[in-house]
Amino acid sequence: MTPGGPDLLGGDDVADIEVVADKTKGSLASAGFLKVRRLVVRTRFRDGTASDPYACDIVSRARTDAVALLLYDVPRDAAGRRALRVLLKTGVRPPVFLRRQLKLTQPDARPYGRLVEMVAGMLEPEDTGPDGVARRAAAEAREEAGVDVPVGDVAALGAESFPSPGVTDEKVHFRAAQADLDGPHVPEGDGSAMEHGTQVVVLPVEEAIAACRRGGIPDMKTELALLRLCDLVGYVPALGVFVDELPGDLRARFRPLGLAGDAGAR
């Protein structure tokens, strides 16, 4: 299959996801991996006015927030020319896979099997303190990608973001780390059956961005992180060059908006 196309990883080996049991009926909204609070709220404004009461369902995870880590390297070819590569992983996401059972207003152009995305995981209770997010990112790199990353090498990739603020209170912390992406990648796993069969792919950042926009990587956090990474390291993916390779007048005008970037990663 063509990199960047619908089947980024060369095909889909997931035949089906069998629903072994449906525990929906009779379950409490506060039970399960996700908690649902069914509230009636009112918005009060500083000028003393207020809205009418309205229903508001809020979905929360047990640990609320997550970290998403983009692993990358800057290899050189035989001529010494630099490139920017990223590591992504693929796995089964039942909510997306099972969309094929729904009657959608706008049907999917294709059924979704494996989903390609960046390394990510929920923050754990012990991930407190200034380097707590970096520690969790390093742990997820080992579990999901089989890559060892020193905690000190994990860098902030812009501010946190809410993936779906109308539904959930989850916030995602974005991080990046430069690592050796050439070695064999054997994810340690975290014991979750959902992570069975996780695969790893390394590809040029241009191909990854193109795949996001064509539908091969239908994951918003990954596309956002890829674009932030390019700014962070000073890379122009549409041109395939680092900022320090641009003519002087253009190089002087480059600004990694909102990021403390190192223009021209070495």
- Three-state DSSP string of 19-66: CCCCCCCCCCCCCCCEEEEEEEECCECCCCCECCCEEEEEEEECCCCE
Assigned token pair, 64:
């609320």
Is the pLDDT assigned to residue 143 strictly greater than 60? yes
Mean pLDDT, rounded, for 89-109: 93
Mean pLDDT, rounded, for 197-223: 94
Alpha helix stretches (DSSP H) within the chain: 94-97, 132-145, 205-214, 220-233, 248-253
Residue type, 101: Q
Say what the pLDDT of residue 263 is. 44
Mean pLDDT, rounded, for 251-265: 73
Say what the pLDDT of residue 1 is. 35
Residue 128 neighbours by CB distance under 10 Å: 11
Say what the pLDDT of residue 261 is. 52
CATH number for region 64-232: 3.90.79.10
Mean pLDDT, rounded, for 52-72: 95
Residue 84 neighbours by CB distance under 10 Å: 23
Is the pLDDT assigned to residue 233 strictly greater than 70? yes
Mean pLDDT, rounded, for 90-102: 92
| Domain-wise residue ranges, the chain | 64-232
Say what the pLDDT of residue 53 is. 98
What is the DSSP secondary structure assignment for residue 155, as one 8-state letter? E
CA torsion through residues 34, 36, 37, 43, sign:
positive
User: How far, in Å, CA of 143 to CA of 190, rounded?
Assistant: 6
CA quadruple 141, 189, 96, 18: dihedral, nearest 10: 170
The gap between the terminal CA atoms of the chain, to the nearest Å, is 32
What pLDDT, in 10s, does the model give residues 153-209? Answer: 999 999 999 999 999 999 999 999 999 999 778 888 887 888 887 889 999 999 999
Mean pLDDT of the chain: 90
Residue type, 31: A
Mean pLDDT, rounded, for 54-60: 95
Place of tokens 């041109």: 239
Assigned token pair, 256:
């990694």
Helices and strands of the chain, counted as H and E runs: 5, 11
HSE, CB side, 13 Å, CA atoms: give it for residue 106: 1
Helix axes 220-233, 205-214, angle to 10 degrees: 150
Is the pLDDT assigned to residue 62 strictly greater than 90? no
3-state secondary structure of 234: coil
Paired strand residues for 38: 57
Lowest mean pLDDT among 7-21, 99-113, 223-237: 7-21
